[in-house]
Amino acid sequence: MAPPRNRRPGFSRRAQYGLFLGYVIAAFGAVIAVVLLLLSTFNPGAFSTVRGAAREVTTPLSSGMDSVRGWFGSIPGAIGEHFGTVSENRKLKKQLVQARHVVQQARTLGRENRRLRALLKLRDRDTGTVAVARLVSSSASSTRRYAILNAGSRQGVRPSQPVSGPNGLIGRVLETGFNTARILLIIDPESIVPVQRTRDGLPAIVVGRGDGLVEVRSASVANAPFLSGDTFVTSGTGGIYPPNIPVARVIRNSTDSSLGRVFASPDTVDFALVQQVFMPKLSPSANDREAPRAEGDE
Amino acid sequence: MTERLPVPIGAVDMWRRARWLAPVTVMIGSAITLIPFVAVVPILPPFGLMMLIGWRLLRPDIFPPWSPLLLGLFDDLLSGQPMGSAMFFWTACFLAVDVIDSRLVWRDLWHNWVIGAGAVAVTLIGGRIVASPIGAHVDTAVLFQIIVSVAMLPFLFRICAHLGGRGRRT
């Protein structure tokens, strides 16, 4: 087909100038877009308010669709549950007997741990839960890995609070709106989480790759060996993530750095837990007033 | 020249309706990222851009040259890309389509497909460069995203043609 020539405005001067002006505006707009792009590259939080406002409007939509999906998704489970109850009951009873022994052991260990900690005068920091919410949507068409949480500053969510799921760390809060927040997932190419190996406490960092996997890099010694199956938990270094949240498992034998898979794959997460920042930054005034006891409290 | 067919009494004037329907469908395309699903890799095609190109190729009279700026701004608000990236790349693609259109005398589906594929590829690759660090391992995923998007283009052209009220010569 021949392209329709509706762009050509004919002999009217006014129409010709109007068309020309349109192109001028487009060119100027493109320049402004480049400026915005540079601004948001060098100051990623620059437009958080605007994005937050848009999120406030659109997230209820995602939440609604999410609950509909959840309802339909629960149908097969409900049917299966109805028929599998008896066998499950039998299985669970058997498990209970097996677990009793483990619980005994754990209680003894817990008591001993408390005693030793009291001996060392270690105090557990209160990493209280701020909010429990759902991850309702994500930046599925972008190369960055963000998710939208349907809880925001009204629920007490603040930027840089850690977010974890039942299986492990998911990410941290980047921007908050009234009822929504944007989460930087740990698989994002710009996310770095300080971790330690569970079996020997080897410090490392978990860096997102962008393709759903993470890279585990040794943070102390060169040529540290990583074995497939090594598990890493947060170390508490850096003060954002509380220690001992499971993060990733190495999937390839390697030295110095290796591929890892995160425990809490965000596409399987139903509920996400927002926690307090492990060590919140002290405001300067509070620092002046309570400098001597700032370390132990909060 | 495309002829407008006379609208039968009682029927919807699709030609006129497309004037507000086109921007709305582009924005719906941008809003598909709101589906309740947390992606682990970039997999969703840029439906907003694909709709925009589809409309531009079908009905050049609807969108003024500056309109991709506003539609791109809307896309940037939702997509998670840095602000200004869709604004810039969409406008650049739109102007490029204008230039190509003034050179081509004749356009068929294959031309449209190639033009759309170029726009999608430029926007996705450009978006990847501005959004993610160069060392990120997202290139394979972006390649697949481009392939999927290009494969879906005729489908979106079809939607535009269905809604666009392009008069059929009788």
Note the pLDDT tens digit of each residue in B59-95: 888 899 999 999 999 999 998 899 999 999 999 999 9
pLDDT at B94: 94
As for how many domains chain A has, the answer is 2
Same domain, A47 and A73: yes
- Whole-model pTM: value is 0.82
Domain of residue A157: give its range: 130-275
Region of poorest pLDDT, from A225-234, A269-278, B9-18: B9-18
Query: Which candidate in A50, A143, A145, A192 is best for mutational testing of the B interface (most B CBs within 10 A)?
Result: A143
pLDDT at A15: 82
Same domain, A254 and A164: yes
Residues A139, B59: C-beta atoms closer than 8 Å = no
Q: Is A33 part of a structural domain of the chain?
A: no
Given CB atoms, is A223 within the 8 Å cutoff of chain B?
no
pLDDT at A3: 53
Residue A87, Cα to own-chain centre: how many angstroms?
37
d(CA A18, CA A41): 34
- A246 min Cα distance to partner chain B (Å): 18
Whether B49 contacts B123, CB under 8 Å: yes
Per CB-CB distance under 8 Å, the chain B contacts of A41 are 82, 130
What are A182-212's pLDDT values in tens digits?
Answer: 999 999 999 999 999 988 889 999 999 988 8
pLDDT at A85: 84
Same domain, A61 and A144: no
Amino acid at A224: A
Residues B41, A211: C-beta atoms closer than 8 Å = yes
Average pLDDT over residues B104-122: 92
- Beta strands A192-197; A203-208: pairing state: antiparallel
Please report the residues numbered 107 through 166 in chain A whose beta carbons come closer than 8 angstroms to any beta carbon of chain B: 135-147
pLDDT band for position A127 (50/70/90)? Answer: low
What are B28-48's pLDDT values in tens digits?
Answer: 999 999 888 888 889 899 999
What are A46-72's pLDDT values in tens digits?
Answer: 888 888 888 888 888 888 888 888 788
Instruction: Name the residue among B34, B61, B106 with its Cβ closest to that of A2.
Output: B106
Instruction: Name the residue among B65, B131, B140 with its Cβ closest to that of A142.
Output: B131
Same domain, A57 and A174: no
Average pLDDT over residues B5-25: 82
Same domain, A263 and A155: yes
Instruction: Please determine, for residue B54, whether its predicted confidence score (pLDDT) is greater than 50.
Output: yes
pLDDT at A8: 63
d(CA B118, CA B120): 6
Q: Is A34 part of a structural domain of the chain?
A: no
Q: Is A178 part of a structural domain of the chain?
A: yes
Q: Is A29 part of a structural domain of the chain?
A: no
Q: Of the residues A125, A144, A174, which one is the last residue of a structural domain? A: A125
Same domain, A138 and A267: yes
Q: Of the residues A101, A125, A149, which one is the last residue of a structural domain? A: A125
Closest chain B CA to residue A265: B40
Nearest of B128, B37, B130 to residue A63 by alpha carbon: B37
Q: Is A236 part of a structural domain of the chain?
A: yes
Residue A161 burial class via C-beta count within 10 angstroms: exposed 0-12, middle 13-18, buried 19 and up = buried
pLDDT band for position A285 (50/70/90)? Answer: low
Please report the residues numbered 17 through 56 in chain A whose beta carbons come closer than 8 angstroms to any beta carbon of chain B: 22-23, 25-27, 29-30, 32-41, 44, 46-47, 50-51, 54
Query: Directed axis angle between helix B67-79 and helix B47-58, to 10°?
Result: 160
Q: Is A188 part of a structural domain of the chain?
A: yes
Phi-psi label, residue A156: left if phi above 0, alpha if psi -120 to 50, beta otherwise: left
Residue with the bigger pLDDT between B82 and B12: it is B82
Q: What is the DSSP letter of B165?
A: T
Query: In this prediction, what percent of chain A has a pLDDT beyond 90?
Result: 32
What are A7-52's pLDDT values in tens digits?
Answer: 666 778 888 888 889 999 999 999 999 999 998 888 877 888 888 8
Same domain, A261 and A154: yes
Same domain, A136 and A111: no
Q: What is the DSSP letter of B138?
A: -
pLDDT at A27: 92
Same domain, A136 and A75: no
* 3-class DSSP state of B170: coil
pLDDT at B30: 93
Q: Is A284 part of a structural domain of the chain?
A: no
Average pLDDT over residues B116-120: 96
DSSP string covering chain A: -PPP-TT--TT-HHHHHHHHHHHHHHHHHHHHHHHHHHHHHH-TTTTHHHHHHHHHHHHHHHHHHHHHHHHHHHHHHHHHHHHHHHHHHHHHHHHHHHHHHHHHHHHHHHHHHHHHHHHHT-------EEEEEEEEEE-TTSSS-EEEES--GGGT--TT-EEE-SSSEEEEEEEE-SS-EEEEETTSTT-EEEEEETTT--EEEEEE-SSS-EEEEESSSTT-EE-TT-EEEE--TTSSSPTT-EEEEE-S-EESEEEEEESS-GGG--EEEEE--SSPPPPHHHHHHTTTTTTT--
Same domain, A107 and A140: no
pLDDT at B104: 86
Q: Is A21 part of a structural domain of the chain?
A: no
Q: Of the residues A97, A125, A153, which one is the last residue of a structural domain? A: A125
Instruction: Please determine, for residue A254, whether its predicted confidence score (pLDDT) is greater than 60.
Output: yes
pLDDT band for position B150 (50/70/90)? Answer: very high
Same domain, A55 and A82: yes
Same domain, A156 and A241: yes
Residues A145, B39: C-beta atoms closer than 8 Å = yes
CATH number for A192: 2.40.10.340
Average pLDDT over residues A219-246: 88
